[in-house]
Each structure stands twice: as C-alpha cells, then as structure tokens.
Chains A and B, each alone.
Chain A
Amino acid sequence: NAGVTQTPKFQVLKTGQSMTLQCAQDMNHEYMSWYRQDPGMGLRLIHYSVGAGITDQGEVPNGYNVSRSTTEDFPLRLLSAAPSQTSVYFCASNAGGPEAFFGQGTRLTVV
C-alpha cells in the first residue's frame, strides 16, 4: 500500500515553462487536495477535489490548474511558471473523515 505518491520529488523550471506535478493515491479516497508550503507561512490550500470530475479553488489558486478524471489521480498544472511559485508542494487525500494523508512533497524551483 503506497499511500499518496507524488512525482517528481525535485524540479527546476525556467520562468514561463509549464509542467504537471503528479499525485496518485491507492486508498480509494474521495477527497484530494494540493497545498504549497512556504517559509513562515505554513501550508496553504491551492485546489481540492471531492471526487472524480469535481474540483474547486482553495486559498491560493492563481497560476494553477487541476483536473480529476479518476479517483486515483489529481495532477496539478502550472501553465506558465513564475518565480513566485517556487515552493514545496504537498498532495493530500482523505476518505471523507477528518484525517488527511500527505505525500512526500515536490520541491519546485522556478528560475
């Protein structure tokens, strides 16, 4: 049972490039979410999904897109990367209860 798997673990992008951060869970959880972690700011919610085909914005959605075509996967897309998106990104899932399970994170640097 792998839990929540994020790929890649590290990524360096140039300003203006696009990329997709992958998140997959094998626990059949309905709820999935993306957070970004910045020094001194804790974790902030970017987007979340309550099931396949349903997504919504969190606290800091600008510059990010998501989709949820399957229960297992919840990719996060950066269409045109900016230095302000340099951060550590965490994906989380839960089964509808209050406890979330987090992935190991993706450290993204935009130069």
Chain B
Amino acid sequence: AQSVSQHNHHVILSEAASLELGCNYSYGGTVNLFWYVQYPGQHLQLLLKYFSGDPLVKGIKGFEAEFIKSKFSFNLRKPSVQWSDTAEYFCAVSSGTYKYIFGTGTRLKVLA
C-alpha cells in the first residue's frame, strides 16, 4: 500500500533561516507529488506539484522541491523563511486520478 512519511512534525525557525521539510513515499510505480500548505484557519492551498520532467520544481512564495526517485523523496525547501510562512505543510502522493495519500503534516512556526 502507498504511504507518505513526513519526518518532522514540528519545526521552529527564526526569520531568514533556511527550511527543508522531508517527505518520503512508498510506491513502486509512477507517482504524482504535491506539497500543500494550510495557514491557520484556512483551507489547503497547493504550493507546488511534480508530475514529470525536471525534478526540481518551483512553486509559489519562493518554495521549491526536489524529486529524487532513487530515494523516494520529495523534500520541500525555502532559502529564507518569513513569519508569514507559519503554517502546516502536507506532502501528498497520487498514483491515479483521484486518490491522494497525505502525510501527517509538519507544523512550521517562524519566529519574528
């Protein structure tokens, strides 16, 4: 069965620090990979997605992620976080057209 693991449940950073959130998945076939962000009290928003092609994907708000097939990983990065990046981040995998498997989420708190 597919699964998604997010290694860090809680991360606290100071503004301007660099961010890397880990995401590993287990599935042997072709996958589509996503990172979603959920700001406090709001719904899920798509940060970035990977379907195929260049494994380094750039998303909104300065986020990027790298797909490493050999490691089954899709880590999220941002060179310099801002207070407004405080949110919960979810990695998700889809191998088909409508079923998503989500990780358990990482709560990021950025200190001003």
A residues engaging B (CB < 8 A)?
31-33, 35, 40-45, 48, 50, 58, 90, 92, 94, 96-100, 102-105
Q: Residues of B within 8 Å of A, CB-based: how many? A: 23
The SS class assigned to the A binding surface is strand
20 contacts between A and B (CB under 8 A): A32-B98, A33-B98, A35-B100, A40-B9, A40-B104, A40-B105, A41-B104, A42-B4, A42-B102, A43-B44, A43-B90, A45-B100, A50-B98, A90-B44, A99-B32, A100-B94, A100-B100, A102-B36, A103-B43, A105-B43
Interface string of B40-77 (1 = CB under 8 A from A): 00111010010100000000000000000000000000
**Contact call B43/A42, Cβ cutoff below 8 A:** no
18 other A-B residue contacts (CB within 8 Å) besides A98-B51, A98-B94, A100-B100: A32-B98, A40-B104, A40-B105, A42-B90, A42-B102, A42-B103, A43-B90, A43-B100, A45-B99, A48-B99, A90-B43, A94-B97, A96-B97, A98-B97, A99-B32, A99-B49, A100-B98, A102-B36
**What is the bound-complex CA distance between A50 and B99, given in angstroms?**
10
Residues in A whose Cβ lies below 8 Å from that of B4: 42
**Contact call A98/B32, Cβ cutoff below 8 A:** yes
B residues engaging A (CB < 8 A)?
4, 9, 32, 34, 36, 42-44, 46, 49, 51, 90, 92, 94, 96-100, 102-105
Residues in A whose Cβ lies below 8 Å from that of B92: 43
